[in-house]
Structure 1
Amino acid sequence: MIPYTYSLHKIHNTDNFGFEPNDYSRFKFGDEQVARSFGKDLADGFIRYYLTENFITGQIVVISSPYCFIPTATFAMKNYFVSQLNRWLVEHGGLVVQEAKVHRTITYKEDYGALSAEDRMNLIGNDSFHIDKDFLEGKTLLFLDDIKITGSHERMILKMVKEYGLKNDIHMLYYAELMNKDIHPNVENHLNYHQVKSIFHLEEIIKGGNFCINTRIVKYILNCDFNSFSIFLERQSGDFINNLYDLSLGNSYHTIESYSENLNYLKNYIYSNNYKLI
């Protein structure tokens, strides 16, 4: 089974990515306005270059990149991809899409975007992906991700497909794809941190009115130095602070030693403020 692969932007050099690196950086750290733009653009591209000539009459299922409890940045992009695609499908007599989730079992603190191709595979190879096979039967599957660098995630998805014995038509869709293999995979981190250089650069995104929390921003906050973390926390709303703590627990970040100092401070900060309110 060979899936159809489509990427909106194909990266051949680092002088011109085809998109604005600052936008990509903001997207990775929760700017939903950028996620909206990316999702709509990806849907339009897939429609233009595939669906107009290969209309899918059956049921489509859209599946975002795997996550445990906290969604990835791709999840926000997926929402707008689905909205844009649904409008086109309905106008052309098609069925609105369904959605499914790939569950993953392992969480890790390593910054995936900084790793080589070999290190990425060694890291993610310890993970396992799970999906509802019965729900997918007879449907066309669209797996979405924001960027394809080495293909490690795609290989894990296809490994899952093989293990589950899925016979579906499968499409792997990416906002961007690294085509030039002479470029080191850590170009992904160049994009991830193009605008976000410190924890304090997050504040404009968080308070900009279009914020959608994701795995990356939670890990980044918990992993920063304690002094910066404590100053950052003082500037945030109670809702953000409580959400940050609950999501951290949901992803089992309390079991990661390097997060313990910040996470314990966060817990005590919440309990202390609740006591003051009482």
Structure 2
Amino acid sequence: MKDVYALHSIVDDVQFPFDPADYSRFKFGDGAVAGAYGTALAEGFIAAYGDRLSENDQLVVLPSPYTSIPTASYHMTTAFVKVLNRYLCIRGYMPAVTAKIHRYKTYSIDYGALDMESRKALIINDRYHLDKEFLAGKTLIFTDDIRITGSHELIIRNLLKKFELNNNAYFLYYAQLQNQDVHPNIENKLNYYSIHSLQSLETVIGAPSFLFNTRVVKYMLHAPFAAYKELLMKQTPQFLQELADCCISNSYHQMEEYRDNANFLFDHLQKIIPSWQSICKKEKEPILNYQNSLLA
């Protein structure tokens, strides 16, 4: 049994069953919207499938694949698991646990702007890994924010076959495109509905609920330098360090599209935070800028 469930259905590219402005902010790190989406998805899943669950059913929830920086749907999934586990606890069932689909490749191309064939061509060489021993015999719940062409779902289904995991599984989405006449770049329209510049991003990253994800990190690192610099100078040292750590963890500083903005960030951190100076200097040598340091 492998069921697909979507809380909302998209049938055209004009009217949406949810606020597209909220969705756009969610994709760029609005943790409050992520929490609301995860809660709503859990409540919908429980209403549709709660009577199928049993005390002997160990659930494992796996958000969409990522390398190091989580996706927006990861943060949605965090809220989903909390609500699901409250339901399971009340009935005396085992709580759901989480696991990761390990992804070993990242790219700078905006996936949401592509058609189906381009999506398949882009991700065909991606490498993924599942912990077969841990997942064996458990019911798997794969979560994502939106299903447009089903390309990622197909990859996961093939991955299950590769690892010989014949588990019962659910593929859950906050929304699903149900009209094949609508171009897949509808996803791009939703992603950038309310976030279309660094200026429009400021309200999201300045909110207490802001959570870093891959999209917002890449968007900042790929922005025009003048606007990027202006935005960075308004942020706290804690924010800048977290941005830098995200950049390093996904090796974005080694990608041509992001290198200049990443270098500026590292150089700036060396100037304002002593610990970054010690990271970037050689023993018994003067502090160097990032481009000439051991991190280069």
Band the TM-score falls in, shorter-chain normalisation: over 0.9
Q: Partners in 1 of 2:7 and 2:223 — Cα distance?
A: 33
Q: Partners in 2 of 1:66 and 1:259 — Cα distance?
A: 22
Q: Partners in 1 of 2:98 and 2:75 — Cα distance?
A: 13
Aligned to 2:247: 248
Displacement after TM superposition at 1:167 (Å): 1.5
Q: Show CA shifts across 1:62-94 (max 9, x none).
A: 001100000000111011100111111111222
Displacement after TM superposition at 1:274 (Å): 2.7
Task: Give structure 1 stretches of 5+ with no counterpart.
Answer: none
Aligned to 1:200: 199
1:5 aligns with 2:11: no
Contact 1:90–1:96 (8 Å) recurs in 2: yes
Contact 1:129–1:156 (8 Å) recurs in 2: no
Letter in 1 for 2:46: I
Aligned to 1:86: 85
Contact 1:35–1:76 (8 Å) recurs in 2: yes
Aligned to 1:43: 42
Contact 2:28–2:72 (8 Å) recurs in 1: yes
SS of the residue 2:119 aligns to: helix
Displacement after TM superposition at 1:276 (Å): 12
SS of the residue 1:40 aligns to: helix
1:112 aligns with 2:111: yes
Q: Partners in 1 of 2:178 and 2:219 — Cα distance?
A: 28
Q: Show CA shifts across 1:6-38 (max 9, x none).
A: 000011112322100011001101111101110
Q: Partners in 1 of 2:79 and 2:170 — Cα distance?
A: 18
Aligned to 1:55: 53
Contact 1:43–1:81 (8 Å) recurs in 2: yes
Displacement after TM superposition at 1:275 (Å): 5.7
Letter in 2 for 1:77: M
Aligned to 1:179: 178
Q: Show CA shifts across 1:65-124 (max 9, x none).
A: 100000000111011100111111111222110110000010100000001111111111
Aligned to 2:28: 29
SS of the residue 1:184 aligns to: coil
Distance verdict in 2 for CA 1:277–1:137, change over 3 Å: closer
Distance verdict in 2 for CA 1:12–1:269, change over 3 Å: same
Contact 1:10–1:178 (8 Å) recurs in 2: yes
**How high is the sequence identity, in percent, across the aligned residues?**
45
SS of the residue 1:216 aligns to: helix
Q: Show CA shifts across 1:158-198 (max 9, x none).
A: 11111101011011000000010110111001111111010
Q: Partners in 2 of 1:67 and 1:188 — Cα distance?
A: 19
Q: Partners in 2 of 1:8 and 1:185 — Cα distance?
A: 19
Aligned to 2:209: 210
Q: Show CA shifts across 1:235-265 (max 9, x none).
A: 1110111111111010011221111110111
Displacement after TM superposition at 1:131 (Å): 1.2
Distance verdict in 2 for CA 1:235–1:135, change over 3 Å: same
Task: Give structure 2 stretches of 5+ with no counterpart.
Answer: 278-296
Q: Show CA shifts across 1:176-233 (max 9, x none).
A: 0001011011100111111101012221111111111101000000011111111111
Contact 1:24–1:191 (8 Å) recurs in 2: yes
Distance verdict in 2 for CA 1:55–1:221, change over 3 Å: same
Letter in 2 for 1:60: L
Deviates more, 1:58-67 or 1:200-209: 200-209
Q: How many residue pairs were aligned? A: 276
Aligned to 1:190: 189
Q: Partners in 1 of 2:276 and 2:117 — Cα distance?
A: 51
SS of the residue 2:106 aligns to: coil
1:270 aligns with 2:291: no
Name the larger-Rg structure.
Answer: 2
Displacement after TM superposition at 1:55 (Å): 2.3
Letter in 2 for 1:237: T
Q: Partners in 2 of 1:81 and 1:149 — Cα distance?
A: 21
Aligned to 2:153: 154
1:136 aligns with 2:135: yes
